[in-house]
Amino acid sequence: MIAVVQRRHPQLLAVALCLGLAGATALRSDSVALPVFAAALLGVATAANGFARFGVLALALALAGWWWGSLRLEALDRSPLADRAGSAARTRLVVGGPARLGRYDFTAPALIVRFGSALVREPVLFRVPKGRAPPQGGIIETVGQLVVPRSATTGFDERVWLRRRGIHLILRADRWRLVDRRGGVSGIADRLRERLQRSIALGLDGDRAAVIEGVVLGEDSGLSDNLKQRFRASGLYHLLAVSGQNVALVAAGAVGLVWLVGVSRLVGQLAALVAIAAYVLAVGAQPSVVRAGVAGALGCIAWLSARAADRWHLLLVGAIALLAWNPYTLLDAGFQLSFAAVIAIFVLVPRFDGFLQGYPLGRPLRLVVAVSAACGLATAPIVWLQFHAVQLLTVPANALAAPAAAPLLGLGLAAAAVAPVSGSAAAALAWLNGWCAAYLIAVARFIGGLPGAQIQSVRALLVLLAVALLGAAYAWPQWRTSSNPSI
């Protein structure tokens, strides 16, 4: 045990900090003595050694994380305009993200900077009727009414869902006027996203363009409800969320481009850092994007500083960054699914890959099956708790989708890269990419439309668990015998 602690000392300390940040969501502390006590423990740790030093450091970091998480939650729960709910006034706000088209209206995250005569900074959900979508980054003037989000009456609790994002009110408006665009880093992010949206599917429309947008930008608002359901039922919905593969391809593309120009590897790594930062800014602060972006950036920094990068350390730093900004992220389905999938890749995929080596599968297909099975197994409890469904055909669906998934992402990013130079070349790449998107759509529709592609009832889940337990009980003695030839 002591040897394990010594070997994993930095990672375990990071885990302690994560636990402290996450613990604030269950129990908050408003004690001003807590940071003082944590600092005192850090002083004690300098005088200790061995296992005692590790224990004191871990406790100090857990307490510091608990204190900081409590502060952040208090800040997120604060609403300067809460007592103005139900009132209407002339309002100026900044649209902070892409507008999503619902059944009856557009919604977009926004920041109120003036409500009537009051100068405030209040995050809200901006809601306007169908017609003209408010642009991301736009500074808007309107006459809006503040309303309280709906509570849980038919399943979905909009109030809780928004509160976990620091939003406590909805601003409804019938008309709005664009008066300016925000600047700074946020303005750069807006322009980057706008350019990506214009170039990755140049000349395409409909479901093909929507799927390319989903894979490259993690934006699924352009997909029809039926197609979204088929992607979910088939177990391919994760392809519509930005993941580590996206960030890795962006970094590799930057390094490869610098190599083609003939510049040094050092410049290539710096270019990769800039490309990762630009991509994360353009896509937005989704949990999977931040996790992958932090891991990619730290990997580049590790190379530049000639130090080895530990994958667990990179994963935990991403978790710390997300939880330190918003501890409620722990309860977000995207955070849970992203980190569960990565942990499954670290822990289960090598074992599944070793088990499959005895079967007549090529290495690429074997890895696809191992990753799909490991991630499906690790995320199934989360999917059931969050969405009350479990996909049963995720392994064959991902095996069929694998030949098109990576090329689709690569062609989308390539189209965005060449668009400033040649619009016709970007359109040609997008046309070719449209066939990859059409293939993914066909796989999702076929697998997602099969009977039993997913289960959504408690009775079916219990039957599935019973069958799985019986199968495991039958296979366990045989597996032990085959894995230990001396028996």
What would the DSSP string read from start to end of 127-164?
A: EEESSSPPPTTEEEEEEEEEEPPP-SSSS--HHHHHHT
Q: CB atoms < 10 A from the CB of 205, how many?
A: 10
Quote the DSSP letter at residue 151.
-
Domain extents for the chain? 2-76, 82-182, 194-477
Handedness of CA 122, 126, 132, 134 (dihedral sign): positive
The closest alpha carbon to 200, from 435, 436, 427, 438, belongs to 427
**Residues with pLDDT less than 70, the chain:** 1-9, 45, 47-48, 50-51, 153-155, 303-309, 468, 471-487
Cα angle 279, 294, 46; round to 5: 160
> Rounded to an integer, what distance in angstroms lies between the CA atom of residue 136 and that of residue 133?
9
**Identity of the amino acid at 237:** Y
Provide the pLDDT for residue 47: 66
Structure tokens at 288: 């999977």
343, burial (CB in 10 Å: exposed 0-12, middle 13-18, buried 19+): middle
Provide the pLDDT for residue 292: 80
Question: Do 178 and 135 form a contact (C-beta atoms < 8 A)?
Answer: yes
User: What's 82-182's CATH class?
Assistant: mainly beta
Provide the pLDDT for residue 69: 92
Collapsed DSSP state (helix, strand, coil) of residue 125: strand
Structure tokens at 215: 């894979």
Question: Do 325 and 375 form a contact (C-beta atoms < 8 A)?
Answer: no
Structure tokens at 120: 């405030």
pTM of the model: 0.85
Residues 6+ apart with CB under 8 A from 397: 234, 235, 236, 372, 391, 443, 444, 447, 448
Provide the pLDDT for residue 287: 78
